Amino acid sequence: MSLPVSSTNAGKELKLLHYIYRQPNLDEIRGHPQKVIDLIHEFEKDSLFMNVGAEKGKVVTNLIDELKPKTMIELGCYVGYSAILFGEAVRRNGGERYLSLELNPEFAAIANMLVELAGLRDFVCIIFGRSDLSLHKLLTSGELKKVELLFIDHYKPAYTTDLKLCEHFGAIVPGSVLAADNVLYPGNPPYLEYVRSTVEQKREAAKSGPSQSYNTTGMAERTVESFVGKDDVPTFDFVGNPNLVYQSQLCQPEGLQTYNVGVVGYGFSAKIFHIPFVKEVPELKLYAIVQRTPKQDDDAEKDHPGVKSFRTTEEMVQDPAIDVVIITTAPDSHFAQCKLALEAGKHVVCEKPFTPTTQEADDLIAIAKKNNKQLAVFQNRRWDADFVTLSKLVKNGSLGRISEYETHFDRHRPEEPASDSHKWKNKVIPGGSAIYDLGTHLLDQAVHLLGLPARVTGFIGSARAANTSSYEDSFTVLLHYANGTMVTAKATVVSPEDEQLRFWVRGDKGSFKKYHLDIQEDQLKAGIMPQDKGYGREPSERYGALTTIQNGKPVKEVVPTVEPPTYTEYYRKLVRALNGEGELPASGAEAREVIRLIELARESSRTGRTLGV
Ligand SMILES: C[S@@+](CC[C@H](N)C(=O)[O-])C[C@H]1O[C@@H](n2cnc3c(N)ncnc32)[C@H](O)[C@@H]1O
């Protein structure tokens, strides 16, 4: 039997280890599990870690306090967060040991060091290897006779097979308690079905014998392929003990507040940029969609059974069950739609560009305030992997003082779009044109990273030879900063390049150059969803390069694009803000500043003057 090679490399996990072990007060941390946990929380703010986390952790520590197990086992140790948190609770409750099973040798090694630092080395035992092999050894050697409390948090398809393994060896006894994470998100229908089946149902199913493969029904492809290769099979084929009866209880972390979401519009933006991400966040429930004219092959009701369907926003906002309204219609409708939703007492997420004018943005901000509702704007490109990578380089000083920040959104589409094209993106409407469409992304990123400039110069127009509609398809905007930094934000439709330049940022210590637009939009268009394997991850041939001067000579190194939290982070952050636990992912007030810069750039372009902000 071969040991599957884990596909995860432990880059950020190793950085976590360095971060913790480089703390100047290491001696004060040593022997204090909670201090190690706090440092893990502190470090993981910027990246995505797989820890069970504080809220769900509390559900399990409450169980430990109640059950006081002598031995507790967990499947899936990762870097040891739960082993430290739960190990300490088991020890505090008079327990004897905590066994933690982990497949990935790097994670197991990191966890060992953190457990040691937490002072739990003699209590928590991390067993490296795949869980079925480790469990088999523990059960057949007699080392583990019965399961008191089992925390299941590893490879989702193995939840049921590992449980059956324990059942087979008689380790599940009356009083055994299983705590399984992630059964709702990302979801584990076969496990839930198994523990909720009656004895009769299980006996019936057992007649066909062991399945010899994992049951992955209802699981996302990324879930099935994570940690192990997609062809992985369980090592043992046990039917388990169909005579056992489980009491199944769903434990939501205390205070898990959920929000019903209504989406206005059912076009590209709703389908690609909002609904898939709303569905990724457990606290958000896709509740309703406004689609003015459903068609045979384009019907929200059919695509999302069980989700309410409305024809108008007016009707939808009357539904008292809706908490958050997402506006995905064309920009010239944003003001009216946002106003309607805010005045009906809903929180609002407005697609970018926020509004055609600063005046409308200010009015909406005031309406939100008056109604005591949150108003956010979907500046999702703050979570582009390349922008997150660049931001890290700027913030950690790799580039030194930034003198030039060049940011592009160029394509080669020199032909004028057909006049019957229905896309607002090719029409002359308030809030239309490239500067509103693409400029909002580029300018928002620049302001998010560097702050507001002192002055603006704009050149806005069409790069196409034929432009009968007068649609402004291209722009160059210069942002002049008080400290001398110059931002050049450009988008054009005439750029016959094989690789389009995305960022070129130069400072007195280094220069970062990157080609290609972030991969998420293309993946979404190709049907690759946030839960799919590889979503958001940039292939290495698209990585950017950092050039620094060493010994008087330029030295170039490839900078791997970070694994981004993806656009899902926008909605996670929104939930935290709605819970009163942080800032909005991008507020109306922040988006208003971008609209102001656009207005100034347009005026500058019209008058040929550079304007103060
Ligand atoms: C969600 S993480 C566990 C998080 C951890 N319980 C915590 O809260 O800190 C899942 C872990 O399970 C490990 N894993 C996946 N499949 C496994 C298997 N078959 N046996 C043992 N560990 C496995 C992965 O390498 C990963 O580290």
Q: Is residue 479 part of a domain?
A: yes
Confidence at residue 4, expressed as pLDDT on a 0 to 100 scale: 41
Determine the Cα–Cα distance for residues 593 and 591; give it in Å rounded to an integer.
Answer: 5
Last residue of a domain, one of 182, 200, 225: 225
Last residue of a domain, one of 378, 394, 416: 378
Residues 214 and 298 in one domain: no
Q: Is residue 252 part of a domain?
A: no
What is the CATH classification number for the domain harbouring 351? Answer: 3.40.50.720
Task: Print the domain residue range for 267.
Answer: 259-378
Confidence at residue 432, expressed as pLDDT on a 0 to 100 scale: 86
Q: Is residue 565 part of a domain?
A: yes
Confidence at residue 160, expressed as pLDDT on a 0 to 100 scale: 96
Residues 441 and 476 in one domain: yes
Query: Candidates 1, 101, 154: which one to mutate for ligand 1, based on the most atoms within 8 Å of Cβ?
Result: 154
With a 6 A CB cut-off, is 131 part of the ligand 1 pocket?
A: yes
Cα–ligand 1 centroid distance for 135 (angstroms): 14
Determine the Cα–Cα distance for residues 111 and 126; give it in Å rounded to an integer.
Answer: 8
Residues 279 and 196 in one domain: no
Q: Which helix (H) or strand (E) holds 102?
A: strand 97-102
Which pair of structure tokens corresponds to residue 547?
Answer: 């050039």
What is the CATH classification number for the domain harbouring 565? Answer: 3.30.360.10
Query: Candidates 50, 120, 124, 125: which one to mutate for ligand 1, based on the most atoms within 8 Å of Cβ?
Result: 50
Last residue of a domain, one of 328, 354, 378: 378
Residues 499 and 364 in one domain: no
Tally of domains within the chain = 3
E strands in 1-89: 71-75
Confidence at residue 581, expressed as pLDDT on a 0 to 100 scale: 82
Determine the Cα–Cα distance for residues 257 and 84; give it in Å rounded to an integer.
Answer: 27
Question: What is this model's ipTM?
Answer: 1.00
Which pair of structure tokens corresponds to residue 330?
Answer: 């064309």
Confidence at residue 466, expressed as pLDDT on a 0 to 100 scale: 86
SS3 205: helix
Residues 369 and 394 in one domain: no
Confidence at residue 429, expressed as pLDDT on a 0 to 100 scale: 85
Cβ 171 vs Cβ 144: under 8 Å: yes
> 8's torsion region: left (phi>0), alpha (psi -120 to 50) or beta?
beta
Residues 566 and 468 in one domain: yes
With a 6 A CB cut-off, is 130 part of the ligand 1 pocket?
A: yes
Residue whose C-alpha is closest to residue 449's, from 407, 418, 495:
407
Residues 535 and 582 in one domain: yes
Cα–ligand 1 centroid distance for 416 (angstroms): 53
Per DSSP, helices labelled H in 264-351 are 268, 275-278, 300-303, 313-317, 334-343
Residues 354 and 394 in one domain: no
Residues 419 and 482 in one domain: yes
Q: Is residue 247 part of a domain?
A: no
What is the C-alpha radius of gyration for the chain, rounded to an integer number of angstroms? Answer: 27
With a 6 A CB cut-off, is 102 part of the ligand 1 pocket?
A: yes
With a 6 A CB cut-off, is 78 part of the ligand 1 pocket?
A: yes
Q: Is residue 442 part of a domain?
A: yes
Cβ 354 vs Cβ 588: under 8 Å: yes
Q: Which amino acid is at 350?
A: C
DSSP secondary structure letters along 348-396: EEEESS--SSHHHHHHHHHHHHHTT--EEEE-GGGG-HHHHHHHHHHHT
Task: Please state whether beta strands 486-491 and 474-480 pair in parallel, antiparallel, or not at all (unpaired).
Answer: antiparallel
Q: Which amino acid is at 112?
A: N
Give 452's Cβ-side CA count (13 Å radius).
14
Residues 513 and 607 in one domain: yes
What is the CATH classification number for the domain harbouring 161? Answer: 3.40.50.150
With a 6 A CB cut-off, is 156 part of the ligand 1 pocket?
A: no
Q: Is residue 434 part of a domain?
A: yes
DSSP state of 462: -
With a 6 A CB cut-off, is 158 part of the ligand 1 pocket?
A: yes
Q: Kindly give the parts of the chain with pLDDT less than 50.
A: 1-7
Q: Is residue 277 part of a domain?
A: yes
* pLDDT tens digits for range 448-491: 999 999 999 999 999 998 888 888 999 999 999 999 999 999 99
Confidence at residue 11, expressed as pLDDT on a 0 to 100 scale: 86
Q: Is residue 403 part of a domain?
A: yes
With a 6 A CB cut-off, is 107 part of the ligand 1 pocket?
A: yes
Determine the atom of ligand 1 nearest the C-alpha atom of 76. 12
Q: What is the mean pLDDT of the chain?
A: 93
With a 6 A CB cut-off, is 335 part of the ligand 1 pocket?
A: no
With a 6 A CB cut-off, is 232 part of the ligand 1 pocket?
A: no
Q: Sign of the CA dihedral 595, 600, 603, 608?
A: negative
Cα–ligand 1 centroid distance for 125 (angstroms): 15
Residues 167 and 298 in one domain: no
Residues 112 and 128 in one domain: yes
